[in-house]
Structure formats: C-alpha cells, structure tokens
Amino acid sequence: MQTFDLLWQSRTKVLALAACLLALAFVSAACSGAVDVRFTPSGVEVEQADGSKAYTPYDNIKSVSGYEHIPDRLAPNLVPTATPIPPVLPPSEYSLTVHQPTLNGVAHGSISPGPGTHSYLAGSLASITAYPRQGYRVGSWGLDCQGAAGNTCTVTMNGDKAANANIVRDHSVDVQTYTVTAQASANGRIEPATQTVEELSTVTLTAIPNSGYGAGAWGGGCSGQYGETCTLHVNGNKTVSVSFDQLPALQWHETTGTLEDVNGRPTYNWTVACPSNDPNNKRAAAGTVIGRVEARDPDGRVTPTYDLSGGTKNGADINATTGVITLDREFDCGSRPFHNGGTAYAATTDGRTSVAGFDFRIGPYTGPEDTTADPNNAAPTFGGVGYNADAGRYEFTVTEGTVNVGTITATDADASDSITNYVKTGSDGPDFELLRSNNVKTGEFRFRVTPDFDNPHDANGDNEYWFEIKAYSGTGSRALTATVTVKVTVTQ
C-alpha cells in the first residue's frame, strides 16, 4: 500500500489533473479545484483544495465500455481502448402544439401563437392567448392548459406541450343573425321551414317526402348534398331547396312454386304434399310451410315487410320479415285435397305498398296438367318473330329506353283447341308484363319500367333478362301447356 502510494505521489500536479479529467465520468467530485489524484490498489481518489476527497472503485470504472481491461491493482493501465459513451444530455428545446379555437367545428376567433407547432427553449415559459370573436368567450382550456382561466394560458416547457381553447357563446353580447328559408318542391316538405340563427351556426334540415316519394338532390345553400338531411354552416342569409322523386314500384319475385300474372296481379301457386302417410290420420299440422313470397325495392333502398289482409288470410299466416307463409291451423288432407288462397301485402317505411295473390293446395292434386295425355292431343308449339328454332327459345334485343319488346306466338295444331292463356315465370319475369286484348293475354309483352343500360334490373345486373312463358291451350281434358325460355338483351 505504501509503495503504491509513494509511486503515484511523486507525479506532478499536471499529471494529477490529467488523471482527474480521465476519471471525470466515474468520480463524483468535480475536477475543478482538484490538487491531487491518487490511484490506490482498489480505486481512484481525488483530493480537492479544501482537503475533501472523492473515491471511485475500479470496478465501477471497468463497468463502462472501453475500460474493461483495467487490472484491479495496475493503475498505470487506466487508458481507454475506445471512446467512452458520452452522457445523455436533456433536449435544449421542446415543441408546443396550438389548436384553432372552435365551437361545433367552426372557427370562432384566433389564437397566439397561431395554430401549429412552435419551438421553445427547455425550461422557458410559453404563453398562449385566445381572441374569441364578438359574442363568444373562452369557456375552458384543454390538453396541457387544462385548468387555466381567462383568455391566456402559460405552460413551463419541460417537455413537449399542446394547448387548445374551448369557445362558448357569450349570451351577454348580441351577435349577427341570419335567416334560413326552406323551399320544398311538390310531394314533400323541409323541416324546419324557416328559422333565424346566429352567425356561424350549424343547422340540420330534414326532407320529409310524401308517401311513395324519396328525397332527391338539395339545392341553394345545400347544393351538392343528397339524401334526407342537409348540414348547413350559416354565414349569411340562406335559401335551401330539395326535390322529391317518385319511388319505383315494388316488384314481386318468384321463390318456390310458380309466380303468374292473373288478371293483372302477380299470384303465387304452391302445391304441398300432405305431410302424413297414415291413412287414418292424413292431416297437415298448423305451422306447415306453404311457400314464400318476396317483394323487392328495385333501388335497394329499403326492405319490405309483409302482412296478410284480415279478410283473406284463409287459414294462412305470414312471417312479416321473411315472407314465409304457413298454415295457421290443422287441415284434413286425406279425404280430399285442401285448396285455398289469399292476398299478401308488402309495405315499406317510405310508404310504398304492393299486393300479390297466393293459391295453395295441400294433398294430391288432379288438375288438367295431371291427366293422362291424349295421344291425339298436341301441346302448343312456338314460333314467329324472335324465335330461335335451333336454341328452342326467343331472343330479343332492344335499346335502352325502349319499353315494348315483342310477341310470343304459340299455336295448337288441333283445330278444335286454341291458346287460352300465357303466364310468365322465372327470376326476371316480374320485370315484364303481358298485354291483353278483350281480357285475354295475347303473348305480346313489354318492360314494366323503362330499361336503363346503366341501371339494369335483371337478376344478374348484366342487361340480359331471362324468364319463361307458359302457353295454355284447350280446355277440360284437352288442356295442355308448353313452356319456352325468353332472353331479352338491353343495349345502349
């Protein structure tokens, strides 16, 4: 110990100060005023002019990268092989983010410094002042200014900060007011109709269409907006308008069974087998599914709900959401087939309604189509304009905007029999109607709604409409039918 101390005490004060600087990162005492540095077998000792001493063990120094090689008892080797890691200094400045003062999303004044991000020296004070427009005041401060009162907030920049002023109406001061006047077209109204509001207010106007109509385009101060509501920021007297468009009729679509046009009304036909094979108890229980009706909004705006008229339910119930029709009681279907029908109603929230009939049979059905065929009785055949004999179907092409399509021509080779009726079925059948002459369908058909190439109504949305037409001929035991496929293509 004495030998080691004597060795180092013989060094000059210059060497001692150099050693002090080398050990600065590890010795708690500052080098300022140091008069001697002593390397002992276990650490470094720095002596100040006032006689105080600070001591750092070698193990602490060796824990820093670059000093690991220092032997415990060889102080002369205290030379770093790499630059020591410098200490992490605190930032010299921080950022302040200032937000625009608003009320309901509308600016109501200015703020200093302006909206954005600003830099301040670390530890300095930042002052933010809001200047609300006439008739408004600072209700409260938010973010790092929370709790501040009045128009000014001061924050200490000991980190990144943010501030915003919440503006409220000062009802002790009058402000400019403006009038908003609503001008609705026919078939609806706008609420509220006329109102006086304060400058920079935000108002919402609602278009209320009459039954069967929908809100179209807004105009005036609401120009460019669509739908049932308009949001308007008032910075002057405003006049707003809206148009009301008639909504397209609901269309009934085939689901199970068949969908036919009977006297101008779509009618579903279902035949349900008697669910019991017990010869002594052939009954259909309440809840037995008969079929399902489906009405669609061509625009896809709403989904209809369903009901059965009170006077024509005739033993059936309907699910208001799905359109599934079931028996509302038990029926005997063993001694004779049960045959009944009714009327289904579809309604939408925008006031549209539509009616479809339904006809159902439970149990064996022996009608004209089920009789044994007479070998001398020929079924109807098809031909005429638009008939493709090779494909066995009709093919028509019309340009958009054309309503009339063509005629299905069925004939019966038997002179005693004539064509008695045409009925259309298939996914796109509801898009067309069969025309009548003297209350008898002629086979001529047309679109129910004028076709629009850019807004197709066919099931696939590809402007190709596919459906079937069934032709009836003869009566009684000679009644026969034939079905043909029809393809209608709409072009531009």
Res 241: pLDDT? 92
For residue 125, which of 148, 102, 150, 99 has the smallest C-alpha distance? 148
How far apart are the C-alpha atoms of 48 and 149, rounded to whole Å? Answer: 52
How far apart are the C-alpha atoms of 245 and 352, rounded to whole Å? Answer: 13
**Is beta strand 229-233 parallel, antiparallel or unpaired with respect to 202-209?**
antiparallel
Within 185-257, strands assigned E span 188-191, 194-198, 202-209, 213-220, 229-233, 238-246, 251-252
> Is residue 348 within 8 Å of 250, Cβ to Cβ?
yes
As a whole number, the mean pLDDT across the chain is: 78
User: Is residue 14 classed as helix, strand or coil in its secondary structure?
Assistant: helix
For residue 465, which of 444, 484, 485, 443 has the smallest C-alpha distance? 485
Res 177: pLDDT? 87
Q: Is the peptide bond before 113 cis (omega within 30 degrees of 0)?
A: yes
Res 341: pLDDT? 72
CB-facing half-sphere around the CA of 304: CA atoms within 13 A: 24
Q: Determine the residue type at 200.
A: L
Res 302: pLDDT? 85
Residues sharing a CB contact under 8 Å with residue 482, sequence separation 6 or more, in sequence order: 379, 380, 381, 382, 410, 470, 471, 473
pTM of the complete model: 0.39
First-to-last alpha carbon distance for the chain, in angstroms, is: 108
Q: For residue 364, how many other CB atoms are within 10 A of its CB?
A: 14
Please list the rounded mean pLDDT of every run of 10 residues in the chain (492 residues).
Answer: 38 41 42 58 70 69 44 45 58 89 79 91 90 86 90 92 88 83 88 86 89 87 89 90 89 84 83 62 76 88 81 72 86 59 85 85 49 66 92 93 94 84 81 82 90 89 89 77 91 94
pLDDT tens column, 25-76: 444 334 445 456 666 666 767 676 677 777 777 666 544 444 444 444 444 4
> Is residue 61 within 8 Å of 38, Cβ to Cβ?
no
For residue 394, which of 311, 283, 471, 485 has the smallest C-alpha distance? 485
Res 370: pLDDT? 39
How far apart are the C-alpha atoms of 46 and 42, rounded to whole Å? Answer: 14
Token digits of residue 114: 């302006």
pLDDT tens column, 448-479: 899 999 999 888 889 999 888 888 888 766 77
How far apart are the C-alpha atoms of 415 and 279, rounded to whole Å? Answer: 44
Res 84: pLDDT? 54
